[in-house]
Amino acid sequence: MESAQKNPAVEIRAVSKQFGRGAEQVKALDGVTLTIGDNEFFTLLGPSGCGKTTLLRMIAGFEQPDDGGIFLFGEDIKGLPPHKRPVNTVFQHYALFPHMTVAENVAFSLRMLGRAPGEIERTIGEMLALVKMEQFAARKPAQLSGGQQQRIALARALAPRPRVLLLDEPLSALDLKLRQAMRAELKAMRQRTGITFVFVTHDQEEALTMSDRIAVMSGGRVRQTGAPRDIYEKPCDSFVANFIGESNFLTVTVERLEQDAAWCRLDGALLQCSCAGEAAAGFDARVSIRPEQVSFSADGGGGPALSGVVENLSYLGTDTQLSVRLGDGQMLQARVQNAGRERPPPGPGQRIRLRVNPGAARLLAD
Partner 1 sequence: MRKPKPISAYPGFSQVTWLCMALLYAPILVVAVYSFNAIRSITTWGGFSLAWYAKAFANPHIQAATLNSLVVAVAASVAATVIATAAALALARGRGFRGRGGVFVLINLPLMIPEIVTAVAMLIFFLAIGFQLGLLTVVIAHTVFCVPFAYLPIAARLSGIETFYEDAAQDLYADRWRSFRFVLLPMMMPGIFAGLMLAFIISLDDFIITNMVTGPGTTTLPLAIYGMVRVGFSPEINAISTVMLLVSVFFVSLSYLVGRRRA
Ligand X SMILES: Nc1ncnc2c1ncn2[C@@H]1O[C@H](COP(=O)(O)OP(=O)(O)OP(=O)(O)O)[C@@H](O)[C@H]1O
Q: Which of 43, 54, 109, 149 binds ligand X (CB under 6 A)?
A: 54
Q: How far is CA 20 from the centre of its chain?
A: 28
Q: Does 62 bind ligand X (CB under 6 A)?
A: no
Q: Please enumerate in sequence order all residues whose Cβ is within 8 A of that of 34, keeping only pairs 6 or more positions apart, or say none.
A: 10, 11, 12, 215, 222, 225
How far apart CA 217 and CA 68 sit, in angstroms, is 18
> Interacting stretch for ligand X, rule CB under 6 A, among 41-49, 77-85, 97-105, 297-305?
41-49
CB of 61: closest distance to partner 1 in angstroms? 8
> Interacting stretch for ligand X, rule CB under 6 A, among 4-12, 49-57, 244-252, 255-263?
49-57
How far apart CA 306 and CA 296 sit, in angstroms, is 9
Residues facing residue 19 across a β-bridge: 26
Q: Does 26 bind ligand X (CB under 6 A)?
A: yes
- Window 22 to 81, contacts with partner 1 (CB under 8 A): 60-62, 81
How far apart CA 217 and CA 114 sit, in angstroms, is 39
If we measure between CA atoms, which residue out of 363, 350, 355 comes closest to residue 336? 355
Q: Does 213 bind partner 1 (CB under 8 A)?
A: no
Tell me the number of residues near ligand X by CB under 6 A: 13
Closer residue to ligand X in complex, CB, 47/348: 47
Neighbours of 204 (CB within 10 A): 19
Q: Does 112 bind partner 1 (CB under 8 A)?
A: yes
> Interacting stretch for ligand X, rule CB under 6 A, among 20-28, 103-111, 304-312, 326-334?
20-28
Dihedral, 254, 256, 257, 262 alpha carbons, nearest 10: -60
Contact partner at residue 156 from partner 1, Mg ion, ligand X, none, CB < 5 to 8 Å by partner kind = partner 1
Dihedral, 131, 136, 142, 146 alpha carbons, nearest 10: -30
Q: Does 82 bind partner 1 (CB under 8 A)?
A: yes
Q: Counting every residue, how long is the chain?
A: 366
Nearest 5°: the CA angle 110, 113, 115 is: 60
Q: Does 130 bind partner 1 (CB under 8 A)?
A: no
Q: Which of 43, 53, 196, 218 binds Mg ion (CB under 5 A)?
A: 53
Residues binding ligand X (CB under 6 A): 19-20, 26, 28, 46, 48-54, 202
Q: Which residues bind partner 1 (CB under 8 A)?
A: 60-62, 81-83, 87-89, 91, 93, 95-99, 108-109, 112-113, 142, 156-157, 160
